[in-house]
Structure 1
Amino acid sequence: MTTEDNFPVDLSTSFKAYDVRGIVGQSITASSVKAVGAAFVDVLGLEGQNVLVGGDMRPSSPEFSAAFAEGASGRGANVQLLGLISTDELYFASGALKAAGVVFTASHNPAEYNGMKMTKPGAVPLSSETGLTEIRDLAQSYLANGIPADKTVGSIGTADVLKDYSQYLRSLVDLSASRPLKIVVDAGNGMAGMTTPAVLGSALLPGLPFEIVPLYFELDGTFPNHPANPLEPANLVDLQAAVVKHGADIGLAFDGDADRCFVIDELGAPVSPSAVTALVARREIARAKKGGEEHPTVIHNLITSRAVPELIEHDGGRAVRTRVGHSFIKATMAAEGAVFGGEHSAHYYFRDFFNADTGMLAAMHVLAALGEQDGPLSDLGREYEPYASSGEINSQLADVPAAVARVREAYTREDVVVDELDGVTFTAKDGSWWFNLRASNTEPFLRLNAEAVDAVTMADLRDAVLELVRR
């Protein structure tokens, strides 16, 4: 396919706070990508250094990879084309090879989108506060005035990191002694269709005691079966049915670029990302303490279940609460030397994975925990989900500040603690409930997350807050 344009592209429409996403042929084109590749090298000072370039299965990714490579090599970088990769493969390669890089992906967005996730050497994230804005502005200048040709042109070669990535993940979690497990994996026609056979199967490495039942492993960036966004319950229906049909022990669902993983138990019920965070935290704390750390640090964002910090403290770890968003988690991971971090959105971050997020490594921890004991995943999951949660509920509003003000007026009282780390969080002093309201940065939405000691209390709280919000 061609994504070339005959019109000026305004990069501010596709550059977001943490990455780049736009509609192919409109807000992201081959010529704009070439300009970004050149600016990437110039802003980060990568002349003479290696730059890694790969992409997911979207139809435009190969052309965009080639365009970025042309722009980057034209400014003196030596490009290694990695071909088809997941986002966490880029993070692995960037960390292991200490090279800056980019992966072309729009994650869970629809087929007409593509974008870029970029890293500095060592898988250090790029955001609007750490270079992304400067890259955008310089690329915009290059689009208007042309890319300078005053550098020695770098080389363009190829590399394949899938086997090294798979071996590295297996070195972090030993699954060879697991009891036999039947696993249904829904790749959503995304990159997990390639990484799952490599990491959990026998495509590149010796087989593990797993029977993998594949759902939608064909790489197809048009997403013919369902959107590759497991955060939406409708996109889990096929996996839930397949787990029950095949009598499987567990189901795994990945998003399009395979950096997020959702878990389904043997009954077809979702295991909350908070429960996964708590489960993985327990394992990583134990491993760190075995290595001599007294109080290993685990990061969690403020809308994960309160069971997460409770378990971390119970197991002798130190819980650090942070804002929602991967740049905040990654920055706090690095600053605190944290062993692990988890988010409600099913992003999981590991110190041993260059402080980057990887859905596959989180899935491996869940498989290891399940494979080490005889009980079903539903029993294991209940251990980590003692509270009732509303999930995230969006309200589209004409006046978000007015809605928040109504809730503040109702809940600013002696028996409630209020804090404003990210949006506004209201917590009952007796510990019976909490809820958070956060305004979306990009849409006219107010997001509610609520949790309570039981389902009745949670439902009453949820309904009371929504009545105020939507009045």
Structure 2
Amino acid sequence: MKSTLDLSSFKNNDIRGIIGEQINEHLAFLLGKAFGEHVLFASAETSLDSLAQVVIGRDNRETSLSLQKAITKGLNESGISVIDLGMTGTEEIYFATRHLRAIGGVQITASHNPINYNGMKLVGIDASPISKGNGLDQIKQRIEVLDQELNSGLPISRVQPSYSCRTASILAPYVEHLLSYITPSKLSPMKIVVNAGNGVAGHVIDDLEKRFNELNVPITFIKVHHSPDGKFPNGIPNPLIKENQIATRDAVLAHSADLGIAWDGDFDRCFFFDEQGNYIEGYYIVGLLTEAFLLKESNATVLHDMRMTWNTIEVANKLGGNAVGVKAGHALIKEKMRELNAVYGGEMSAHHYFRDFGYCDSGMIPWLLVVELISKTQQSLHQLISSSTNKFPSSGESNREVVNPEQVMGRVLSRYRESAVDIDHTDGISINMGEWRFNLRKSNTEPLIRLNVETRQDRTLLSQKVEELLQLIK
């Protein structure tokens, strides 16, 4: 019987879709072959002394292991040796690709998507991003050809005995790398609520806890939903959902903790709660991390997305750094960071990128830096951000479904063009009106308009302008 193939799971930066309909072992096998061919060709064009091996890991979703086996078979048949890292977070694949000098890496994950989803994230040599326009389209096209060959009965290459799959662990060197961003001996006594959301962050926290104990670091972890469970009995690990924030907030208050941290399923994003249990918008964390790096490396360049910017720019200017606005999206930010040798890049969506982490994003490095900043300043997390939240109150992101996003953006631009102080088109439209500004941008994957607004010390004006813009969009 002819196998069905639905490639609508290919997005801008990864592959994700509904299990069975879009994501299945047939696609995974073909992806393994096509990706293997792609990274072999790419590695042949470089002068790097990399081995013909790919690292692969998976989250704890119930279909992830079978998908990993299918991808491994495809990689082997393309002439690739595979290093199986077992259950990992996405950033462990980034680290392992570089640490083991592999020519590519694959993480099987659906991160924060619903339980009936799964997917894959791909990287090339040095954990360089593979995305739409940067290899992912070619891999998709090759999959279509391979599928036609498979279903037509044409001969295709079979597994070669010399190409293998071996297991390995990079947890120890990965954790040592994480600790290199801070000075553990200078951390103050602290209680930290950590909520893995029954995803895969728990094993890293456990190893960090072990290392802290060995180093006599006075950090106590209060663990919530810590064990991996692919049935997600406490809800999908998506801390942006308000209902999912309750467990972390309640644990912070119940234990009088100094802060709370929650992760999405593959822990490449982390979300913060202060000692009062308040959820902190990712925008203000970008400002904190900008401060953390510029205190260590003055005159450095940091990148930020264009959705909300004033706080990050002020922090960078105050500390002698250079803040550069860029379009949101991991491939674009990583590329720009390499170009400018930026030490850090941050998105308000809780993606944080680090030069010394191969310009990749991490959900573990941010909280370590924040804990170190709390220790250095002897201020609570609430105190650290209160100045920024008061100076630059922000709306958070409002999403509205529209029929014609371009038409809506044109209407909004016409409304404010003449009275604007500045208009920027780096990512959608960013309009500075003096005492307030906003960014309006299209979703890359859905018929949505995304709105973010901030003001200068005026929450009443913030509410008014959010309502004004939402009415104009509608």
Provide structure 2 residue ranges, at least 5 long, that are not aligned to the other structure: 45-50
Q: Does 2:25 match 1:20?
A: no
Q: Does 2:452 match 1:443?
A: no
SS in 1 for 2:111: coil
Q: Which residue number corresponds to residue 395 of structure 2?
A: 390
Q: Which residue number corresponds to residue 292 of structure 1?
A: none
Q: Aligned match of 2:256 in 247, 257, 271?
A: 247
Q: Does 2:42 match 1:33?
A: no
Deviations 1:9-56 (A, max 9, x none): 122x11111100011222111121111111111122169611101101
Q: What is the Cα-based RMSD across aligned positions, in Å?
A: 1.9
Higher mean displacement: 411-420 or 345-354: 411-420
Contact 1:198 1:205 (8 Å CA) reproduced: no
Distance 1:70 1:110 in 2: 27
Higher mean displacement: 394-403 or 28-37: 394-403
Q: Does 2:326 match 1:322?
A: yes
Distance 1:176 1:184 in 2: 21
Q: Which residue number corresponds to residue 428 of structure 2?
A: 423
**Given residue 397 of structure 1, which amino acid in structure 2 is its aligned partner?**
V
Deviations 1:90-114 (A, max 9, x none): 1111122221110100111011111
Distance 1:228 1:268 in 2: 18
Q: Aligned match of 2:202 in 183, 189, 193?
A: 193
Contact 2:212 2:218 (8 Å CA) reproduced: no
**Given residue 424 of structure 2, which amino acid in structure 1 is its aligned partner?**
D
State the shift of 1:151 in Å: 7.6
Q: Does 2:100 match 1:97?
A: yes
State the shift of 1:418 in Å: 2.0
Deviations 1:387-427 (A, max 9, x none): 11010001122333333233223211144422221111111
Q: Does 2:135 match 1:140?
A: no
Q: Which residue number corresponds to residue 274 of structure 1?
A: 283
Q: Is the alpha carbon distance of 1:312 and 1:324 closer, same or farther for their aligned partners in structure 2, counting shifts above 3 Å?
A: same
State the shift of 1:199 in Å: 2.3
**Given residue 50 of structure 1, which amino acid in structure 2 is its aligned partner?**
Q
Distance 1:364 1:391 in 2: 24
Q: Which residue number corresponds to residue 264 of structure 1?
A: 273
**Given residue 426 of structure 1, which amino acid in structure 2 is its aligned partner?**
I
Deviations 1:290-326 (A, max 9, x none): xxxxx21101010133110121122111111100111
Distance 2:182 2:68 in 1: 32
Q: Does 2:235 match 1:220?
A: no
Q: Which residue number corresponds to residue 411 of structure 1?
A: 416
- Name segments (4+ residues, structure 1) moved above 6 Å: none
State the shift of 1:6 in Å: 6.8
Q: Is the alpha carbon distance of 1:84 and 1:246 closer, same or farther for their aligned partners in structure 2, counting shifts above 3 Å?
A: same
Q: Aligned match of 1:86 in 86, 89, 94?
A: 89
Distance 2:420 2:181 in 1: 45
Q: Does 2:54 match 1:51?
A: yes
Contact 2:127 2:360 (8 Å CA) reproduced: yes
**Given residue 186 of structure 1, which amino acid in structure 2 is its aligned partner?**
N
Distance 1:104 1:148 in 2: 25
**Given residue 258 of structure 2, which amino acid in structure 1 is its aligned partner?**
D
State the shift of 1:236 in Å: 0.9
Deviations 1:200-235 (A, max 9, x none): 455996563111111101101222102211122222
Distance 1:311 1:98 in 2: 37
State the shift of 1:237 in Å: 1.5
Contact 2:420 2:431 (8 Å CA) reproduced: no
Distance 1:52 1:204 in 2: 30
SS in 2 for 1:183: strand
Q: After the TM superposition, which residues 91-130 of structure 1 pair with which residues of structure 2 at under 5 Å, given as runs?
A: 91-99=94-102, 100-130=104-134
**Given residue 427 of structure 1, which amino acid in structure 2 is its aligned partner?**
N
Q: Which residue number corresponds to residue 356 of structure 2?
A: 352
**Given residue 120 of structure 1, which amino acid in structure 2 is its aligned partner?**
G
Identity, in percent, stands at: 35
**Given residue 241 of structure 1, which amino acid in structure 2 is its aligned partner?**
D
SS in 1 for 2:112: coil
**Given residue 23 of structure 2, which amino acid in structure 1 is its aligned partner?**
I
Q: Does 2:163 match 1:163?
A: no
Distance 1:305 1:393 in 2: 17
**Given residue 90 of structure 1, which amino acid in structure 2 is its aligned partner?**
I
Q: Which residue number corresponds to residue 181 of structure 2?
A: 172
TM-score for both structures, normalised by structure 1: 0.93
SS in 1 for 2:382: helix
Q: Which residue number corresponds to residue 339 of structure 2?
A: 335
Q: Is the alpha carbon distance of 1:19 and 1:205 closer, same or farther for their aligned partners in structure 2, counting shifts above 3 Å?
A: farther
Deviations 1:67-117 (A, max 9, x none): 111111111111101100001111111122221110100111011111111
Contact 1:231 1:345 (8 Å CA) reproduced: no
Provide structure 1 residue ranges, at least 5 long, that are not aligned to the other structure: 290-294
Higher mean displacement: 160-169 or 401-410: 401-410
Q: Which residue number corresponds to residue 73 of structure 2?
A: 70
